[in-house]
Amino acid sequence: MKSVITSLAILFSAACGAQDIQFRNVSVTHLPASVLSNHNTMDVRIGDIDNDGDPDLVLAVEYFKNVILINDGKGNFTDGSDRLPDKTATQNPAPWRYYPYHDSEDVALEDFDNDGDLDIVIVTEDDEINEYYINDGKGYFTDHSTEFPVTGVTNAVIAADFDNDGWTDLMLGNNGQNYYLRNNKGRFEDATADRMPVMEDITQDLEAFDFDQDGDPDVIVGNELDNILLENDGNGFFSDVTGRYIPEEYQENGETREADFADINGDGKVDLYFANVTLFQGMPPVQRMLIWDNNRRKFNDEALLRLGFTDTHSVVDADFADLNSDGAPDLLFQTLEGPRIFINDGQGFFTDRTRQLIPGLSGMGIDVEVYDLNGDGKPDLYFGNFRTSDFYLIQE
């Protein structure tokens, strides 16, 4: 009887929490014109660019100069893109009409040279030119892109100290072989051949997490076809362990655009979510919510049971975050129709609360980020969109 009462209490608490939280759209009043346009925001990263104690934003923008948004400390943002150097055209732009800017796709924001401030890497798809910027300590950047050792059709980048040497390394997700770039005192070296298995995939996302709980970052690779789980040996050498832990029928996801992870059901084990779409591969957008089964030592797909849908939405991005402060990770989606919020009941079952929490938002969503942007202790939402204005919502 006690366990039943406890379960009911959790469900009631979660339901009440979902009703208690409220978001206000402050896009027009709190964002500059540069992100209220119809440009394509492909990725957003949050960090204190100028070392003033509040979170700023770095945006990868297709076909235009990438954007930096500077926070005034109260969640109001101004355009700080002048902190990135302008590009100069030195050749004929053909075939890239947007040259000297790039088909920017993803951002890594970390202290790559170990001097105490955040530097920037932005990877590029069609024109295969990646960007590397070093922070001067005051939030202004010098261009070190010519030092970047590789090119490629790249859609994803993840930064972590994979080899445990105190320097933040990079992994790049490509159309073709993915790259491992080892950080050698602020300079990146291509260590792919020694440290990565051969993978000829179309990768759309990379996420670093300690899958095996041994203290080092492993990587989940989100591909347009079969996804891959890479296990780190602790020294930055990776092996493909997908078949050992993810049954084959769950690897064939259609077209994954985002992978994310959290302990969804509170059992102390990390679970996985694959956000799938119908775009280039023409396959149904079957969602995969993979729950760790400690008895079988494998993942089970429980998407329909826990989400209530599998192929209703094409999900481009998904982030776990505890929106209502009940200790359970909720789930935010960016779909081809707009953002959605699903609230966790505390046991890993989700209910769609979009209409109650963020009504009236629509458009082709690409990225979502959750962070306390105005310093009031409550998580706020930033939605990066395709061919429409970005959305910025603060929690009241």
Residue 362 has pLDDT above 70, yes or no: yes
The pLDDT of residue 93: 80
Q: What is the DSSP string of 169-202?
A: EEEEEEEES-EEEEEETTEEEE-HHHHS----EE
The pLDDT tens digits of the residues spanning 167-216 come to: 999 999 999 999 999 999 999 999 999 999 999 999 999 999 999 899 99
pLDDT class for 3, splitting at 50, 70, 90? very low
Mean pLDDT calculated for residue range 286-306: 92
First to last CA, the chain: 37
Q: What is the DSSP string of 304-360?
A: HHHHS-SSSS-EEEEEEE-SSSSSS-EEEEEETTEEEEEEE-SSS-EEE-HHHHSTT
Residue 324 has pLDDT above 80, yes or no: yes
Round to whole Å and give the CA distance between 217 and 221: 13
The pLDDT of residue 12: 39
Residue 341 has pLDDT above 50, yes or no: yes
Round to whole Å and give the CA distance between 8 and 80: 49
Residue 16 has pLDDT above 50, yes or no: no
Show the tokens assigned to 195.
């440290």
The pLDDT of residue 251: 64
**Contact of 323 with 297, CB cutoff 8 Å:** no
The pLDDT of residue 253: 58
The pLDDT tens digits of the residues spanning 105-125 come to: 999 999 999 999 999 999 999
The pLDDT tens digits of the residues spanning 142-163 come to: 999 999 999 999 999 999 999 9
**Contact of 231 with 238, CB cutoff 8 Å:** yes
0.85 exceeded by the pTM? Answer: yes
**Contact of 170 with 110, CB cutoff 8 Å:** no
Looking at per-residue pLDDT, the higher value among 171 and 337 belongs to 171
Round to whole Å and give the CA distance between 107 and 285: 25
What number of H helices and E strands is found in the chain?
7, 28
Helices assigned H by DSSP within the chain: 2-20, 27-30, 192-195, 242-245, 248-251, 303-307, 354-357
